[in-house]
Amino acid sequence: MSGSVGAGRRAAIVGSGPAGFYAADFLLKAGLAVDLYERLPAPYGLVRYGVAPDHQTIKRVTAAFDRTARQVGFRFRGHVEVGRDVALEELRRAYHLVVLAYGASSDRQLGVPGEALTGSHAATAFVAWYNGHPDHEHDQYDLASERAVVVGLGNVALDVARVLVRPLVELAVTDIADAALDALRASKIRDVVLLGRRGPAEAAFDQGELADIAALPGVEVLVEGDVEFALPEGADAAVRKNVEYLATLPREPSGNAERSVRLRFLASPVELLGDAERVRAIVFEDNELVESGGRVTARGTGRKHELSTGLVIRSIGYQGLPLPGTPFDPKRAVVPNEQGRVLALDGSRATGLYVTGWIKRGPTGLIGTNKACAKQTTDLALADLDALPVPTLDPEGIDRLLAERGVAVVSYDAWLALDAAEKAAGAAKGKVRDKLASVSAMLAAAGVE
């Protein structure tokens, strides 16, 4: 798209994760001015607060986002929560177009008895805690039990398992939160059991992620239970890699490993049992696979097993939430849209309103997936430009509103000050970065209190 198409026009983007940054880049390149609103004082969404601390090479994608932020016409508006500090309607009045890129911050529930017991947690919270998300500054995890059970077999479940078994010296040099490092230092967990409700061919993780765990010193990865490694007809390359790799893994413990990660397929939790409010065991049921409507699903056999544990982490997917003033599809937990153009509740197009990333497609896909997603959305937004009404407010009007409401806005330069402070504090401790744990400490380091 040529650099002049959007000249004189301006866009607001809500959310500064990968989807928001990729959308910003496409719009800036088309000549629009872009204000990127983010509820936290720091940018990058799940790249900062989701991607595991021992995946520093992946986090380096932020260098590309930094290049976007340095383009003329870009402003970062950190520490501004749309829907709380400023209404979406206010933004729509001040910009030609608004792109929603606010991700999927909640979690799915298992819906089994005992899920709310102490010691039973959502992976969304656990991951945010070890990554130093300020919403989770005061969370606490008791890692005193020998066994942890992780429900789900996606890449997030593997992140959680890996962080629980990885040698501490390797984690200590990352940007992991100090509170998590302290808890892991005292951890008694030696055995992590992953429960997958379907079979090896339906596992959602990537083979390389499991191989990384098996390669950790002192860690053994096993496959348990009565399971077949048959390749379904027409299996794609990822499924083939998973199944072939899983078939090579040991079925019995060697007795030599310091820590084990055990995969249990065809197993669904049916209840968490507790002693005085604290989880002490999980009951799971064996499943069989059935085909229904072209999809392989799990059906309980009635055969149940009890496994003692003091920590259950439910890693069965993230979930989008509605933003005040936005149409929302509660069934799919996304903003209803047609390739990124937001649809109002009556199915008509919401003029000048667009969506991208997890809140558009649902909570799956790698960082790069959001680039193609943002391209699709912004191409349509740019095609609509001439038909969009001229805004009646201007962005300075929004700045004034925020100032009147006492919101301390973090600019990109202020973020860079915060970033430098975290890196310097990290260097002093031999870590990549020492994340500031609270919003107030972040604002102080950014110099915007």
Under the rule (CB under 6 A), what is the footprint of ligand NAP? 110, 151-157, 159, 196-198, 202, 204, 209, 268, 315-318, 363-366
**C-alpha–C-alpha distance, residues 201 and 183, integer Å:** 35
Contact indicator for 11, 27 with CB cutoff of 8 Å? yes
Helix (H, G, I), strand (E, B) or coil at 295: strand
- What does the DSSP 8-state code read for residue 232? P
Partner from ligand NAP, ligand FAD, none contacting 316, C-beta within 5 to 8 A by type: ligand NAP
- Alpha-carbon separation of residue 388 from 96, 218, 258, 334 (angstroms): 6, 60, 62, 24
Write down the least CB distance from residue 428 to ligand FAD, Å.
27
Write down the least CB distance from residue 357 to ligand FAD, Å.
2
Q: Is 68 in the site for ligand FAD (CB under 6 A)?
A: no
Q: Kindly tell me which of 90 and 285 has the beta carbon lying closer to ligand NAP.
A: 285
Of 25, 35, 159, 191, which lies in the binding site for ligand FAD, with binding defined by CB under 6 A? Answer: 159
Q: Kindly tell me which of 82 and 156 has the beta carbon lying closer to ligand NAP.
A: 156
* Half-sphere exposure for 54 (CA within 13 Å, toward CB): 20
* Count, residues near ligand FAD per rule CB under 6 A: 36
Q: Is 133 in the site for ligand FAD (CB under 6 A)?
A: no
Write down the least CB distance from residue 238 to ligand FAD, Å.
14
Partner from ligand FAD, ligand NAP, none contacting 122, C-beta within 5 to 8 A by type: none
**C-alpha–C-alpha distance, residues 254 and 140, integer Å:** 33
**C-alpha–C-alpha distance, residues 348 and 351, integer Å:** 9
Of 13, 24, 46, 410, which lies in the binding site for ligand FAD, with binding defined by CB under 6 A? Answer: 46
Write down the least CB distance from residue 95 to ligand FAD, Å.
14
Of 309, 370, 377, 378, which lies in the binding site for ligand FAD, with binding defined by CB under 6 A? Answer: 370
Of the candidates 221, 207, 196, 180, the one whose C-alpha atom is nearest the C-alpha of residue 314 is 196
Write down the least CB distance from residue 346 to ligand NAP, Å.
31
Q: Kindly tell me which of 73 and 325 has the beta carbon lying closer to ligand FAD.
A: 325
Tell me which amino acid residue 110 is: L
Q: Is 102 in the site for ligand FAD (CB under 6 A)?
A: yes
Using CB under 6 A, which residues numbered 308 to 337 contact ligand FAD?
318, 323
CB under 6 A: which stretch of 101-109, 305-313, 333-341, 397-405 binds ligand FAD? 101-109
**C-alpha–C-alpha distance, residues 27 and 5, integer Å:** 10
Write down the least CB distance from residue 7 to ligand FAD, Å.
26
Write down the least CB distance from residue 339 to ligand FAD, Å.
16
Q: Is 200 in the site for ligand FAD (CB under 6 A)?
A: no
- What does the DSSP 8-state code read for residue 412? H
CB under 6 A: which stretch of 102-110, 173-181, 261-269, 396-404 binds ligand FAD? 102-110
Partner from ligand NAP, ligand FAD, none contacting 40, C-beta within 5 to 8 A by type: ligand FAD
Residue 6 token pair = 């959007």
End-to-end CA distance of the chain: give it in Å, rounded: 40
Q: Kindly tell me which of 7 and 372 has the beta carbon lying closer to ligand NAP.
A: 372
Contact indicator for 292, 286 with CB cutoff of 8 Å? no
Residue 120 token pair = 């039973």
Partner from ligand FAD, ligand NAP, none contacting 134, C-beta within 5 to 8 A by type: none
Q: Kindly tell me which of 36 and 312 has the beta carbon lying closer to ligand NAP.
A: 312
Q: Is 81 in the site for ligand FAD (CB under 6 A)?
A: yes
Q: Kindly tell me which of 92 and 314 has the beta carbon lying closer to ligand NAP.
A: 314
**C-alpha–C-alpha distance, residues 442 and 400, integer Å:** 23
Of the candidates 352, 356, 357, the one whose C-alpha atom is nearest the C-alpha of residue 382 is 352
**C-alpha–C-alpha distance, residues 97 and 34, integer Å:** 10
Q: Is 418 in the site for ligand FAD (CB under 6 A)?
A: no
CA 63 to chain centre: 19
Residue 198 token pair = 């379907």
**C-alpha–C-alpha distance, residues 363 and 346, integer Å:** 25
- Alpha-carbon separation of residue 226 from 200, 245, 263 (angstroms): 11, 17, 11
Residue 266 token pair = 């065809």
- Binding residues for ligand FAD (CB under 6 A): 14-20, 37-40, 45-46, 50-51, 55, 58, 81-83, 101-103, 105, 127, 156, 159, 318, 323, 357-358, 365-367, 369-370
